[in-house]
Amino acid sequence: MQDIVSAIVSGNATPEDFAALALPGSYRAVTLHKSETGMFTGLAGRDKDPRKSVHLDEVPVPELGPGEALVAVMASSVNYNTVWSSLFEPLPTFDFLSRYGARSPLARRHDLPYHVIGSDLAGVILRTGPGVNAWKPGDEVVAHCLSVELESPDGHADTMLDPEQRIWGYETNFGGLAELALVRANQLMPKPAHLTWEEAGTPGLVASTAYRQLVSRNGAGMKQGDNVLIWGASGGVGAFATQFALAGGANPVCVVSSEQKAEICRAMGAEAVIDRSAEGYKFWKDEHEQDPREWKRLGKRIRELTGGEDVDIVFEHPGRETFGASVYVTRKGGTIVTCASTSGYKHEYDNRYLWMSLKRIVGSHFANYREAWEANRLIAKGKIHPTLSRTYALEETGQALYDVHRNLHLGKVGVLALAPQEGLGVRDGELREKHLTAINRFRAPVPAAG
Ligand code: NAP
């Protein structure tokens, strides 16, 4: 493994050098164990501690199949799907792996008593399988997390509609929180040259998701001048939605839960920011009943910030806790676009506000290759920036998951895999220099010297 790291860090190894490097027989990977899926039974979601369920194991290198690539992972990230899988919620991911494994002899590789998790990576290709022509050993890449088979016609207009659509590292094995990862070649994209490994390894999943959800015609199809209410606007998907809204000429109305997060939204360029903690919104009177007066208070606050206008789009993901309010505050004819239900997936809203005002609810999930590519292209051009706030070592992944589960983080947190330290991997110093302030915007403030 050391020879692989040395070749990558040297920055001048050729494709032939990479192809000639010997592959190790095993690698270190963050895993969940099938034997432990019952360990949190009876505990409330909040009390489940991912530090107890994730392991750092030495696992065998998987066999490389047609159309696949084996990648040396320099850095990865924690996504909320990794939080869900580490809590075995809503289902243990081993059910996904065994269903996938039953599909074909090649897919059987994924059905193991351990699950290598993680749905992001930045790294270097070591080997490609038969039929891969667009990529070669030595290419510096990031990977998006859409895994598709495309044997059915259903997925050919929009690959997210493939009946065999899976999220790599969540519904498949050999994910990114590891020293090596197995991906399909059609997950690969060029690593943005002006970013470090850990910066490049964090946007993939969330930026692609936000791009489809907000910008793509498959999502809300945002246009210039739209008012967009963004929940969790400094979090994983929300901070990219905020940037896409600003870059696309829309007006984000950012909702966050602290002054520090509000400050980050302003630093990104947002003018309308709501601190939901300071303003004390309480959309549910109790477990069963919502409080429409609180929806109205939010609507009034939005109008104060927009000069009297309602929002054209609500960028939804908190789910149960906010959904009633989201449907209410959307303008007549507007769109509520949702990709998640962090606070609960049984939503309730007053349907009169939907049908009488001709609003639409649109479901959105990850992104197709083209949408992921568009998001990555904007990052590579320095028009959209990573939101890395902190980097953890591979052995600290449990703590990183705990911090995201407890909402103690900002933007995204990165995880170093083979990268021996932060700050490596920049190939375009000039572009980086131009955007350094924006790239570092989410970094935890460095304490003043002295
Ligand atoms: P994240 O980094 O934790 O950010 C979510 C933010 O939402 C939080 O920081 C919080 O911000 C806000 N929030 C959380 N609970 C809330 C509540 N009850 N009411 C209002 N705001 C709340 O997570 P993420 O990466 O953005 O992911 C968010 C959700 O999207 C997760 O459930 C994840 O699984 C899902 N997701 C789905 C897809 C997909 O393809 N379908 C892709 C990515 C993510 P404040 O505290 O600042 O308000």
**What pLDDT is attached to residue 46?**
86
DSSP lists the bridge partners of residue 70 as 127, 182
**What pLDDT is attached to residue 293?**
98
3-state secondary structure of 117: coil
Q: Where are the alpha helices (DSSP H) in 11-120?
A: 15-20, 50-53, 80-87, 94-101
What is the 318 CA–ligand 1 centroid distance (Å)?
Answer: 6
**β-strand 251-256 against 227-230: which pairing, if any?**
parallel
Cβ atoms of 196 and 282 closer than 8 Å? no
Per-residue DSSP letter, 340: -
What is the 26 CA–ligand 1 centroid distance (Å)?
Answer: 35
Residue identifier of the C-alpha nearest atom 25 of ligand 1: 236
Confidence of residue 23 (pLDDT cuts 50, 70, 90): very high
- In the structure encoding, which two tokens stand for residue 5, read together? 């790291």
* Average pLDDT of the segment spanning 134-160: 97
Write out pLDDT tens, residues 234-282: 999 999 999 999 999 999 999 999 999 999 999 999 999 999 999 999 9
Q: How far is CA 114 from the centre of its chain?
A: 22
State the Cα–Cα distance between residues 172 and 48, nearest whole angstrom: 23
pLDDT surpassing 90 at residue 448: no
What is the 232 CA–ligand 1 centroid distance (Å)?
Answer: 6
* Average pLDDT of the segment spanning 343-349: 95
CA distances from 381 to 138, 195, 234, 241, 443 (A): 22, 11, 22, 17, 21
340 lines ligand 1 (CB under 6 A): yes
* Average pLDDT of the segment spanning 134-145: 97
* Average pLDDT of the segment spanning 33-39: 96
What is the 238 CA–ligand 1 centroid distance (Å)?
Answer: 7
Q: Where are the alpha helices (DSSP H) in 177-319?
A: 197-200, 204-210, 236-247, 259-268, 292-306
State the Cα–Cα distance between residues 206 and 201, nearest whole angstrom: 11
Which one, of 369, 353, 373, lies nearest residue 361 by Cα?
Answer: 353
pLDDT surpassing 60 at residue 440: yes
Pocket test for ligand 1, best of 407, 408, 413 (most atoms within 8 A of CB): 407
Pocket test for ligand 1, best of 211, 237, 284 (most atoms within 8 A of CB): 237
Largest separation between any pair of C-alpha atoms in the chain: 67
The CATH code that applies to domain 224-363 is: 3.40.50.720
Which DSSP string do the residues of 366-419 spell out, in sequence order? S--HHHHHHHHHHHHTTSS---EEEEEEGGGHHHHHHHHHTT---SEEEEESS-
* Average pLDDT of the segment spanning 116-122: 98
User: Cβ–Cβ contacts within 10 Å for residue 39, how many?
Assistant: 14
pLDDT surpassing 60 at residue 205: yes
Domain ranges of the chain: 2-203+386-439, 224-363
**What pLDDT is attached to residue 255?**
98
Cβ atoms of 244 and 268 closer than 8 Å? no
Pocket test for ligand 1, best of 274, 284, 317 (most atoms within 8 A of CB): 317
318 lines ligand 1 (CB under 6 A): yes
**What pLDDT is attached to residue 224?**
98
Which letter, b or e, does each residue of 334-365 get, where b requires 16 or more Cβ atoms within 10 Å of its Cβ? bbbbbbbbbeeeebebeeebbeeeebebbebb
State the Cα–Cα distance between residues 263 and 86, nearest whole angstrom: 31
Q: Where are the alpha helices (DSSP H) in 136-227?
A: 197-200, 204-210
**What pLDDT is attached to residue 66?**
97
**What pLDDT is attached to residue 38?**
95
**β-strand 272-275 against 251-256: which pairing, if any?**
parallel
**What pLDDT is attached to residue 445?**
59
pLDDT surpassing 50 at residue 7: yes
Write out pLDDT tens, residues 148-194: 999 999 999 999 999 999 999 999 999 999 999 999 999 999 999 99
pLDDT surpassing 50 at residue 447: no
Confidence of residue 97 (pLDDT cuts 50, 70, 90): very high
Amino acid making up residue 362: V
* Choices 3.90.180.10, 3.40.630.10, 3.30.450.30, 3.40.50.1000: CATH for 2-203+386-439: 3.90.180.10
**What pLDDT is attached to residue 444?**
67
What is the 198 CA–ligand 1 centroid distance (Å)?
Answer: 21
Q: What is the mean pLDDT of the chain?
A: 96
CA distances from 248 to 221, 319, 360, 433 (A): 11, 25, 21, 23
* Average pLDDT of the segment spanning 275-301: 97
CA distances from 68 to 64, 133, 167, 186, 326 (A): 6, 11, 15, 8, 41
Write out pLDDT tens, residues 379-388: 999 999 999 9
* Average pLDDT of the segment spanning 303-324: 98
> Among the atoms of ligand 1, which is closest to the Cα of residue 411?
2
Residue identifier of the C-alpha nearest atom 19 of ligand 1: 318
**What pLDDT is attached to residue 223?**
98
